[in-house]
Amino acid sequence: MTGRPEREIAALRAQLQGERGPRLWRSLEEIAESPAFARVLGAEFGGFALPEAGRRDVLRAMAASILLAGLPGCGKGPPDAVLPRVADPADDPPPDRPRQYATAVTFEGFARPVLATTYAGRPVKLEGNPDHPASRGATDAFTQAAVLELYDPDRSQSPTLLGKESGWDQAVQAMVTARRDWLRNGGEGVRLLVEPTTSPTFRRQIEALRQQLPQLRLHAFEPVGKERREAAARLAFGRPLALRYALEHAAVVVSLEDDLLGPGPAQVDHALGWSARRRGGHDAGAEAIRLHVAESTPTLTGAMADTRRIVPSARIPALVAVLAAALGRDGAPAAPELSADERGFVSSWASELRAHRGEALLAVGAHQPPEVQALALRVNAQLGQLGRTLLASEPVVWPGAEAAGTLQELVADMAAGRVQALVVLGANPAYTAPGDLDFTAALQKVPWRLHAGLHRDETAGFCHWHLPLAHPLESWSDARTVDGTATILQPTVRPLFGGRSVHEVVALLAGDPWARDREIVRATWRDRLDDDAWRAALRQGFVPGTAAAPVGDLAPSPAPIGLPPAGGDRGLEVVIRPDPSIWDGRFANCAWLQELPKPLTKLTWDNVLLVSPALAAERGLATGDVARITLGDRELRGPVWVQPGQAAHTVTAHLGYGRKRIGRVGQGIGYDAYAFRASTKPWLGTGAEIAATGDRHELATTQPHHRMDEYRPVRLVAPGKALEARPEEENQASLYPDWDYPEIAWAMVIDLDLCIGCNACVLACQAENNVPSVGKHEIGMGREMHWLRVDAYHDGDPLDPSFYFQPVPCMHCEKAPCEVGCPVNAAVHTPDGLNAQVYNRCVGTRTCSSYCPYKVRRFNWFEYAKPAEPIVAAHYNPEVTVRARGVMEKCTYCIQRIARARIDAALEDRPLKGSDVITACAAVCPTTAIRFGDRNDGASEVARAQKSPRHYGLLEELGVRPRTTYLARIADQGEKGEG
Amino acid sequence: MAAASPPRQRRIYRLPEGHEFRTVTEQVAAIPLHYPQRLRWWLGFIGSSLLLGLLIVSAAYLFSEGIGVWGNTIPVNWGIAISNTVWFIGIGHAGTFISALLLLTQQHWRNSLNRFAEAMTLLAATCAASYPLFHLGRPFFFYWVVPYPNTMALWPQFRSPLVWDFFAFATYITVSLIFWYIGLVPDLAAVRDRATRRLPQVLFGIFALGWRGSAVHWERWRRAYLLVAVVALPLVVSVHSGVSLLFAVGQIPGWHTTVFPPYFVLGAVFSGFAVVIMIAITLRHAFRLYDLVTRRHLELLGLWLLATGWMTAYGYLADAFMAWYSGDSFERGTLLDRLAGPFWPIYWGAVICNFVPLQALWFPRPRRSSFVLFVIAFLVTVGMWFERYMLVISGLFRDFLPSSWGGYVPTFWDWGIFFGLIGFFLFFFFLFVRFLPAVSMFEIKEAVWEEEHDT
């Protein structure tokens, strides 16, 4: 089809937008009569004429079929020139089989390399790219949710002018006009606000744009960015650097509020390294990685630490200074006074770090003042860790401080009236700017404002023009992982909602409205990649040899580093952190992430103020009480959550909630911590007060009880020791005969020593198995649908507890109580040992769930799976039944993958092997804590794990013989001792 | 059974001066033919119709929206729907117990109670049987629990106590209905013979099956009646044992115990007697049946209530003792939840309502007082409701893993179905007393005759 009718059809379809029922048919009639449609028909079927009689009906029917049925199908297939990932390029998979595309989605500008599985042109699941060194098949939870983000019907669907829907033609027109003014004075007064990115194409385009408009100024802003870490690198080494930890080479890590294993761009990287070292250590009897953490608010890193010390966040600089003085040779500031307790652990850490010179690491949180981080970097350099556990390379993220101004400067200029035009690309400063900047007031002084983003968000609401951006899964782009390796992002589907890629928008700014994102990206790589290499990179999912060049022979700058003045001791400190589930708020409209239980609290659909049990007792606060925090003239109201392990006088507030404009899912829930944030001290406020307001707020958590009582589901073992068998666990008699598994017996072993509670498995399971989200009210009632949950427990003194995670999928018991209870044979045992649930057969007596000792079964109390809008249903995995109201469901060990592997094996005429199948949770796990396979095969990982001295079954004394089992967590004190 | 050797017992029936067999029939048959208390009946009937309307609305809403309109959750995915099933079927036990067991043991004082007790059984069992249907996620497939030849070539899963319960309920309702109807036939004929209008004559005539009262009729009738009684008797034990196994088979602390079958059966008879007492007292006063349902009847019922109450109390003790004696931390945890945890108001509410006022029945005066007996019976009915609630919910809300503990609060629609079913019960009971002989005439006459000729 030529270009012109295509555009006419788009225009005609636009007329039908939003029409339903009889109105739709009337509109169709109008269209059928219109000259535009006649032109379309003429172009498609030249010389086509209809008799006058019945002509209207025929035309109307044709209009319906072309506009409603045929073309949306044509419009949404995979775009041209994308390359599926197949072993042999000639071996194109048949249309009923899924295709996988190696591409990436982005997070804070960094690439998350993935394989996108698409069915009939619809991406439904992202797997980590197993060939990519920064993934090895794993992803984090955010990456798993990108599919739902793609199909979010609340995404911006057309350009808007002053809030009213407009079209791309008008937007292009407006840009051309605006550019004419800009070119007149070289872009004086034109500002561009971007999020830091790793895309070489974006950088090339912006640099080209600055050639055209030399006076144009660039500003960069990332609300949870690493600019303090960059500043620290400049302080310590006198030049900008990308810094990365190589935990796989570390024997001792001391982390001072650096959430290495927590969510963030480097989570997968760190988890891969840490687990490789920890696992290798314990299993091979070598020295395992030891992790020491000091922090004010519990994190995943603290939960997995060998020792965890609770200190106020404001105390970290002093600890670093003392450590630096103890370890460093020069340039350390005068060590401040420490308490006896602090002196004790700091000196023991110092000696451990010294003893492991070259394979130790001192990590300080990226939110700490640059001077503090710089001190730590210098200590690492002095201990010879550069190039071993601390990798320095040329910067990966652009623009750094050299190339771009800050948000503060932009606001100052806007307020002073020096900005004539502002273009915001992707960022959402109207929401994320610190409250004391008053960004929106300054913004309104700018005469011409344009915003491009995925959603019509807060910033879009304050701009004249808003342009919808295409999702990374529907556009061409490029991006780099934390190590710098570049991935070409190829679209897996054409833009669903008429968005354009950010590259096309930048091209528009540069006066080239016709440029297509593929050509723009290809042009960037033309020099490096010839056509063959380009195709290979697309298939492979990354461009080999693009890792950032390491910077050798770095000399720590000898300049002394002074500590920033310590805050007053009076009052409370308020630490501000990104939300573990929706980060800085960018994922607020993703129901999967809103409903993803936060790792330690298991809270959903809200943010809270974390307070310690001591503070709660002191101020008469209880979980769910609404409290008011005052700090100077700033005030924050939010519900309290009493969090064991929190520093006594530290309150933690999370960013990302309180959104005013994003969509139906994320709008108007939680409190907005950005408004409370200070631009100079964005992460920590000292001297705050907290008081109850007397109000209560309903909080929805999936796990109301976190304390391990008498029964200990998570077992501990001292290093090198074996678990003591529980008394009743041997050979319980059963009335029913044992099952016989002549071929394969699937089993899963979960290593609790490696599980960091990151929730990637929960979301991978949700995406793979069409698990619906149910909303806050249903969660509050206890009706969450997650097939796999990660239980979080704490144990010991509530003021200083130990934390444990335990992923709990279905146990697939040998003697399954559910199978006995079901009256209609809907819960049945398969010949390969699964405990299957036949949805078609289920009548919903719920006996199986009543009998289940693990309560892993989930019931469709309502028609949960019905999507809010038809487009959302496109994310459903067609291999998995979408469950109707009134049936029970649960973990199936991804039976669709087993079935697929069995079919493939049969086609290839070979027996099915255990290694042919991996469940979604096991595939995504960044620490390889979840292992799945055939336990009949003695060489398989699960069979070996089942022989481990750390092996045990949850509630095995009940005699149900679970086939999902666990390896005990290793702790110095083992099972008996505590604390 | 007449002349053999009925055990000597105190005389229960003493027809006052001027009464003879004929007047017994007249008094009872007058109720359906010339209903005495029309205004009160209409008030009660309209009240129960409103409740029945609530049932229809609640059920319609439930079926259109899904089980989610109830308060059920994971882990408490069985709520008051299941506890009420247990409660209703328990109430349904006294009818068969009184009819069959006391018939076979020749306790002929039962003769003035059995008719309405059986009607109560039928209605309560119907309520109980309908609850699992409301409670199904996909109620339109309820028949998959039934073994029937089908194209899927699938049987029900016979290890499931739910399948046992289906058989138990179906058998129980069928047998109860047959037993009740067989017992009705001679009385239907008596009403037919006294009817003066055409419609009652025809209708009662049809259902009287041509009964003429010949010796052959009586001989065959008695054989059939005894035979069905023998069939019905084991059902008294089996139905509630089956219901209890629905819980005992699950490995849930607080459920997984062998004391459950007798514990449930005794509790069932206990609650059934309580409801029979309430109905007997109500009918006795409403229709002035003081000669047919005598103070001696009330006293005997009171004694039965006391006896079954103590047996039920033994069940409580045994259950609690075994939970403690097992040494199992989960069992003990559930026991503690009941005694002193979140369920203490329910547990102690059950203990107090069931057993404390009951002790008044050791003394003859309260036993003979209609009012006191009625209050005690009412409290027992409420107490047994608490007990069923406590047994079902407290087992589920905290089972094993602390991570999956949860709560349960019934919603309006939970209560809508419950009170709606009580409305269903009352609605049909009102129709029963209005249109059928609520007391067995011929059996009373038989008893009177026997007593007169025995002493």
- Pick among B64, B77, B332, B394 to test the A interface (most A CBs inside 10 A): B77
Instruction: Tell me which chain A residues have a C-beta less than 8 angstroms from the C-beta of B156.
Output: 823-825
Q: pTM for this one?
A: 0.89
Name which of A135, A134, A117 is nearest A126 in CA terms: A117
Minimum distance, in Å, between the CA of residue A711 and any CA atom of chain B: 8
- Structural contact between residues B315 and B266, judged by C-beta atoms closer than 8 angstroms: yes
- The torsion of the CA quartet A836, A838, A843, A846, rounded to 10 degrees, works out to 20
User: Is A857 in contact with B74 (Cβ distance < 8 A)?
Assistant: yes
Q: Which of A810, A851, A885 to mutate to test the interface with B (most CBs of B within 10 A)?
A: A851
Could you tell me which of B10, B246, B328 has the C-alpha nearest to residue A710? Answer: B328
Q: Which residues of A touch B68 (CB under 8 A)?
A: 778, 783, 861-862
Global ipTM = 0.91
In this prediction, residues A252-267 reach a mean pLDDT of 94
- pLDDT classification of A730: cutoffs 50, 70, 90: low
**Is the separation of the CB atoms in A46 and A58 below 8 Å?**
no
Average pLDDT of span B9-29:
69
Q: Do B162 and A789 touch (CB under 8 A)?
A: no
User: What confidence tier does B19 reach under pLDDT thresholds 50, 70, 90?
Assistant: low
Please tell me the total number of residues recorded for chain B in this structure: 455
DSSP run (H or E) holding A683? none
CA A769 – CA A786 distance, rounded (Å): 10
* pLDDT tens, residue by residue, B238-290: 888 989 999 999 888 889 888 889 999 999 999 999 999 999 999 888 888 88
Find chain B residues with C-beta within 8 A of A859's C-beta.
67, 74, 77, 137
Answer yes or no: are the C-beta atoms of B302 and B340 closer than 8 Å: no
Model confidence at B294, pLDDT cuts 50, 70, 90, reads confident
Q: Is the pLDDT of residue A77 over 70?
A: no
Q: Is the pLDDT of residue A151 over 70?
A: yes
State whether B403 and A705 contact (CB < 8 Å).
Answer: yes
Determine, for residues A707 and B402 on separate chains, whether the beta-carbon distance falls below 8 Å.
Answer: yes
Which strand (E) or helix (H) includes residue A951? strand A951-952
Name chain A contacts of B249, Cβ cutoff 8 Å.
Answer: 820-821, 851
Indicate yes or no: CB of B74 within 8 angstroms of CB of A821. no
| CB A825, CB B157: distance < 8 Å | yes
**Structure confidence at residue B4 as a pLDDT band (50, 70, 90):** very low
Q: What is the pLDDT of residue A2?
A: 40
A626 contacts A421 by C-beta, under 8 angstroms = no
pLDDT tens per residue across span A668-713: 899 999 999 998 889 998 889 999 999 999 999 999 888 887 788 9
Whether the CB-CB separation of A379 and A538 falls below 8 Å is answered with no
Determine the pLDDT at residue A979: 33
Instruction: Look over chain A and give the mean of its residue pLDDT values, rounded to a whole number.
Output: 87
CB–CB contact A860 B66 (8 Å) = yes
Pick the residue from chain B with its C-alpha nearest to A781.
B73
- The rounded distance, in Å, linking the Cα atoms of A806 and A357 is 34
Q: Which residues of A touch B167 (CB under 8 A)?
A: none
d(CA A607, CA A673): 10
CA distance A167 to A159: 6
CA distance A909 to A165: 57
pLDDT in the model for residue B245: 92
pLDDT exceeds 80 at position A883: yes
Give B252's contacts in chain A (Cβ within 8 Å).
850-851, 853
Q: Say if residue B338's pLDDT is above 70.
A: yes
Out of A709, A851, A887, name the one closest to residue B138 (CB): A887
Task: Chain A: give the shortest CA distance to residue B381, in Å.
Answer: 26
- Kindly indicate the confidence band of residue A978, based on its pLDDT and cuts at 50, 70 and 90: very low
Residues A745 and A892 sit within 8 Å (Cβ to Cβ): no
Chain B residues whose CB is inside 8 A of the A821 CB are 160-162, 249-250
Q: How far is A142 from chain B (nearest CA, A)?
A: 24
Which of chain B's residues have a Cβ under 8 Å away from the Cβ of A708? Answer: 402
A823 and B73 in contact by Cβ < 8 A? no
Do residue A817 and residue B251 have CB atoms under 8 angstroms apart? yes
Average the pLDDT over A196-225 and give the result: 93
Whole-angstrom distance, CA of residue A694 vs CA of residue A697: 10
Cβ atoms of A231 and A529 within 8 Å: the answer is no
**Burial profile B130-169: b = 16 or more Cβ within 10 angstroms, e = fewer:** bbbebbbbbbebbebbeeeeeeeeeebbebbbbbbbbbbb
**Residue contact A850–B250, C-beta within 8 A:** yes
User: pLDDT value at position B6?
Assistant: 46
Token digits of residue A779: 């969660």
From chain B, pick out residues whose CB is under 8 angstroms from the CB of A793.
402-403
Q: Which residue has the tokens 């001791």?
A: A569
Out of B66, B67, B250, closest to residue A851 by CB:
B250
- From A466-470, A956-960, B418-422, the region with the lowest mean pLDDT: A956-960
Tokens of B334: 């559930």
From the list A858, A861, A954, which residue is nearest B66 (CB)?
A: A861
**Which tens digits make up the pLDDT trace of A731-764?**
677 888 888 898 899 999 999 999 999 999 999 9
- A568: DSSP letter: P
**Which among A705, A851, A885 is the nearest to B66, CB-wise?**
A885
Nearest to B77 among A842, A849, A854 (CB): A849
Residue in A789, A823, A844 nearest the CB of B137: A844
* pLDDT score for B106: 77
Q: Do A823 and B132 touch (CB under 8 A)?
A: no
CA-based nearest residue to B442, from B119, B286, B218: B218
Residue A839 vs residues A14, A472, A773: alpha-carbon distances, Å: 40, 35, 19
Task: Give B148 to chain A, closest Cα distance, Å.
Answer: 12
**B67: nearest CB among A825, A841, A886:** A886
Contact B163 A859 (CB under 8 A): no
Q: Residue A846 and residue B142: Cβ atoms within 8 Å? A: no
Task: Say whether A783 and B74 touch across the interface (CB within 8 A).
Answer: yes
Q: B333: which chain A residues are within 8 Å (Cβ-Cβ)?
A: 710
CB spacing of B402 vs A713 below 8 angstroms: yes
Query: In the structure encoding, which two tokens stand for residue A557, read together?
Result: 């700058």
pLDDT tens digits, one per residue of A464-510 = 999 999 999 999 999 999 989 999 999 988 888 889 999 999 999 99
| A817 contacts in chain B (CB < 8 Å) | 250-251
Q: How far is B138 from chain A (nearest CA, A)?
A: 5
Cα-flanking dihedrals φ and ψ of residue A406, to 5°? Answer: -95, 175
Contact A862 B66 (CB under 8 A): yes
What residue in B sits closest to A956 (Cα-Cα)?
A: B400
Residue B394 has pLDDT above 60, yes or no: yes
Give me Rg for the CA atoms of chain B.
Answer: 23
Q: Over pLDDT 90: what percentage of chain B?
A: 45
Taking contacts as CB-CB distances below 8 angstroms, the residues of chain B near A841 are 144, 154
Closest CB to B78: pick one of A806, A850, A954.
A850
User: What number of C-beta contacts closer than 8 Å exist between A and B?
Assistant: 166
Cβ-defined contact of A887 to B67 (cutoff 8 Å)? no
Residue A114 β-bridge partners = A103, A128
The Cα–Cα gap between A798 and A562 comes to: 37
Nearest to B146 by CA among B124, B128, B165, B127: B165
Give the Cα separation of A527 and A301 in Å (integer).
42
Mean pLDDT of A874-903: 94
Q: Is A171 helix (H, G, I), strand (E, B) or coil?
A: helix
d(CA A108, CA A892): 34
Scanning every residue of chain B, which has its alpha carbon at the shortest distance from the alpha carbon of A851?
B250
First to last CA, chain A: 72
Whether B144 and A824 lie within 8 Å, measured CB to CB: yes
Higher pLDDT among residues A58 and A249, named by residue:
A249
Contacts of B77 in chain A (CB under 8 A): 846, 849-850, 859
**Best mutation site among A726, A771, A845, A960 for testing chain B: the one with the most B CBs within 10 Å?**
A845
Residues 6+ apart with CB under 8 A from A553: none
Q: Pairing state of beta strands A242-245 and A465-468?
A: unpaired
Interface test with B, best of A698, A804, A846 (most B CBs within 10 A): A846
pLDDT of residue A72: 39
CA–centroid distance for A371 within its chain: 30
pLDDT, position A29: 63
Q: Which residue has the tokens 């008044």?
A: B360
The confidence band for A75, taking pLDDT boundaries of 50, 70 and 90, is: very low
Q: What is the CA radius of gyration of chain A?
A: 29
